[in-house]
Amino acid sequence: MTHYLLRRFISIIPVLFAVSTIVFFIIHFIPGDPIDLILGERALAADRAQLAHALKLEEPVLVQYGYFLKGLISGEWGTSIFDNRPVLELIKDNYGATVVLACAAMFVAMFIAIPAGIIAAVKRNSIWDSIAMFIALVGISVPNFWLGPVLVLIFSVHVGILPISGRESWTSLILPAITLGTGLAAMLARMTRASMIEELKSEYITVARAKGVSERNVIFKHAFKNALNPIVTIVGLQVGTLLAGTIITEKVFSWPGMGTLLLDSIRRRDYPVVEGCVLIISFAYVIINTMADCLYKAFDPRVRL
């Protein structure tokens, strides 16, 4: 098992390397000159040259790539072309917001989905099951860039309770978390149901029931605990989609996270920041995915490693 883990983690490295390389080249070949964007139109040729030299933008792309790799490994991810702060500092300022949002969304999702899934499983094939799964499918189908504004319209405008945006009080987290969490909730509800059904069919459950354990304990103390494993790993696998979803949710709610940073720096051709963001996002995605994958394999002995 450790052998497997080690192999998997080592195999991440070439993937990350390939991703950073592709991103680097794409960014550099997108038309648009960061120097123009910084200095504006009236700048003297001499100043452009000076800035270009300082940013090492005059040299051939391959040479710049060399610098990039060197910086990557040494942990010096460069400074933002735009406002001169180290890329890592910018990322540090922003990733917290995204993590908070993602966690809140997951919390919301689990809070709704798990009870729903359990009920659906326990009352299999009844009207409750149908309703729950129907709603779940609907949940996956609602676009979150639509849901966001609709929720804002209803709760902030008409009903007027919740604050609308930004990150002041914790209450401003509610609407974005709900928006982002809905898709996840739907997926999770279905998984919980499927997983619970599998568990409830197992022999040890029949034994427990035969022994006279109360139905409530059967469900919660036995089946659910075991069903939890695959549920958790599915959550891990969905993190990728969650991260992608935050870009939109952050935009809709003006939530100052990584998605916002990424979009802004692409717009400004702030190469170092774009690279930094993409790398962090990809790394996070790959690592979490791999961990989830490993967990999945670990908890499901039926799957061969």
Q: How far is the CB of 238 from another protein (least distance, A)?
A: 13
Task: Say how far apart CA 7 and CA 206 lie, in whole Å.
Answer: 39
Least distance CB 84 / another protein (angstroms): 6
Binding mask 154-173 for another protein (x = CB under 8 A): --xx--xxxxxxx--xxx--
Instruction: Figure out which of the listed residues 116, 122, 262, 273 binds another protein, where binding follows CB under 8 A.
Output: 262
Find all residues with CB under 8 Å of 242, minimum gap 6, and list them: 102, 105, 106, 180, 184
Nearer to another protein, 14 or 301 (CB): 14
Q: Does 233 contact another protein by CB under 8 A?
A: no
Distance, CA of 104 to CA of 123 (rounded, Å) = 29
Q: How many CA atoms are closer than 13 Å to the CA of 38, on its beta-carbon side?
A: 20
Q: Does 196 bind another protein (CB under 8 A)?
A: no
Give residue 279's identity as a one-letter amino acid code.
L
Is there binding between residue 205 and another protein (CB under 8 A)? no
* Residue of 102, 109, 208, 274 interacting with another protein (CB under 8 A): 274
Kindly indicate which of the ranges 60-68, 70-78, 206-214, 279-287 contains the residues binding another protein, using the contact rule CB under 8 A.
Answer: 279-287
> Judged by CB, which is closer to another protein: 71, or 256?
256
Residue 303 touches another protein, criterion: CB under 8 A: no
* DSSP label of 300: -
Residues in the chain: 305
For residue 261, the surrounding DSSP H or E stretch is helix 258-267
- 3-state SS assignment for residue 160: coil
What part of residues 56-75 is at the interface with another protein (CB under 8 A)?
none
- Does 286 participate in binding another protein (rule CB under 8 A)? yes
What is the distance between the alpha carbons of residues 117 and 197, in angstroms, rounded to a whole number? 10
Residue 163 or 210: the one with the smaller Cβ distance to another protein is: 163
99 belongs to the binding site for another protein (CB under 8 A): no
Count residues near another protein (CB under 8 A).
87
Q: Do the Cβ atoms of 211 and 154 come closer than 8 Å?
A: no
Should residue 131 be labelled a site residue for another protein when binding is judged by CB under 8 A?
Answer: no
Quote the least distance from Cβ 67 to another protein, whole Å. 20
- Closest to another protein by CB, 63 vs 150, is 150
Query: What is d(CA 291, CA 289) in angstroms, rounded to the nearest whole number?
Result: 5
Tokens 């400074």 locate to: 79
8 Å CB contact between 156 and 164? yes
Nearest-angstrom CA–CA distance, 28 and 265: 13
Is the Cβ–Cβ distance between 298 and 256 less than 8 Å?
no
CB of 70 or CB of 124, closer to another protein: 124
Cβ proximity to another protein, 183 vs 222, nearer residue: 183
CB of 281 to another protein, least distance (A): 5
Enumerate residues 27-46 that contact another protein by CB under 8 A.
27, 29-34, 36-46
180 is a site residue for another protein (CB under 8 A): no
Q: Which amino acid is residue 141, in one-letter code?
A: S
Reduce the DSSP state of residue 61 to 3 states and report it. Answer: helix
191 closest CA partner among 140, 142, 148, 143: 140
Among 5, 57, 142, 213, binds another protein (CB under 8 A): 142
Span near another protein by CB under 8 A; candidates 18-26, 69-77, 102-110, 202-210 = 18-26
